[in-house]
């Protein structure tokens, strides 16, 4: 299971994340789960999902999103989300 996330910068993904997505290929992960932060737009989630799909990696429909810097409560939500995704897909 690959958990992959990043923020949105000027309507796009960070160049390191874009480059990383290009290196991925089918079989690198059985499944991917996406998370993101941003100021307002959730477009980063679509962009990351698109890159993963292009690489041939199945992507979970649900994604985790928090606005700007996540609060402690949101960090705990993120951890619970990750645990739930892992449990739901066990055994991969």
**Applying CB under 6 A, which residues contact ligand FMN?**
7-11, 37-41, 68
List 40's β-bridge partners, or say none.
none
CB of 41 to ligand FMN, least distance (A): 4
Return the number of the residue (72 or 87) whose C-beta is nearest ligand FMN. 72
Can you tell me which residue has the tokens 């892992």? 86
Write the burial class of residue 57 (CB in 10 Å: 0-12 exposed, 13-18 middle, 19+ buried): buried
CB of 43 to ligand FMN, least distance (A): 7
Residue 27, both tokens: 């079989």
CB of 50 to ligand FMN, least distance (A): 17
């Amino acid at each position: 299971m690959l958990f992959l996330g990043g923020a949105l910068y000027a309507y796009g993904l960070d160049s390191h994340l874009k480059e990383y997505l290009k290196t991925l290929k089918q079989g690198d992960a059985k499944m991917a789960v996406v998370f993101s932060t941003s100021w307002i737009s959730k477009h980063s989630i679509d962009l990351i999902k698109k890159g993963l799909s292009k690489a041939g990696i199945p992507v979970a429909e649900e994604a985790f999103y928090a606005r700007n810097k996540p609060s402690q409560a949101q960090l705990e939500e993120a951890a619970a989300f990750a645990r739930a995704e892992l449990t739901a897909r066990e055994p991969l």
